[in-house]
Structure formats: structure tokens, C-alpha cells
Homo-oligomer: A and B are copies of this chain.
Amino acid sequence: MQTDNTVFVGNKPVMNYVLAVVTQFNNGADMVAIKARGKAISRAVDTAEISLNRFLEGVGKKDICTSTEEIETDTGRTNVSSIEIILTKI
């Protein structure tokens, strides 16, 4: 779910990811990227909004970008949308 300063959002409850984001900032990170693909994009936005509104002070949204990724599935290659939300200390 997590590599350095990046939280990958999947199908777990949103609070799992909120906790991961908050923990990274509490451990001294200046920047955390929240990433997701496909249907998990909505949960990534929830993660950012809940983290900022309820748990983080002095942190803001630096950048939000979306893109299309080509992924390999068992039925061949397909396109999927992805999002990256960058939160930074302000």
C-alpha cells in the first residue's frame, strides 16, 4: 500500500489510507503522493479530503493530475484512468 511518501489507494476502507497519509506526515514527510486507478480514484479523493479536513494542519493540496495508463489484464491490454494527488506542508 505504501512506498516512500506514496500511498497507493485500493479497495480497503478509506480510513486505512487516511491513517497511512497521516502517519507519513507525523513521521516527518514534507510531501505525500496519493495514487489510485480506476474505481479507486473516488476513494483517493476521499482520502485526501478527509486527511486534510480532519487530521492534518498546515498541509495543503499542491497538485492533482490525472492520466491514462495501459495495463495488462487476462483479456489483453486495456486503458485505465489514474490520479495522483500531491499533499505538501504549507
Give A4-61 interface residues, CB cut-off 8 Å to B. 38-42, 45-46, 48-49, 53, 61
Query: In whole angstroms, how far apart are the Cα atoms of A65 and B41 in the complex?
Result: 14
In the bound complex, do residue B45 and residue A66 qualify as a contact, i.e. CB atoms below 8 Å apart?
yes
Chain A residues packing against B (C-beta within 8 Å): 38-42, 45-46, 48-49, 53, 61, 64-68, 79, 81, 83, 85
| The residue from B41, B48, B61 contacting A45, defined by CB atoms under 8 A apart | B41
Query: In whole angstroms, how far apart are the Cα atoms of A79 and B79 in the complex?
Result: 31
Contacts of A46 in B (CB 8 A): 81
Contacts of A45 in B (CB 8 A): 41, 66, 81, 83
Query: In whole angstroms, how far apart are the Cα atoms of A79 and B53 in the complex?
Result: 11
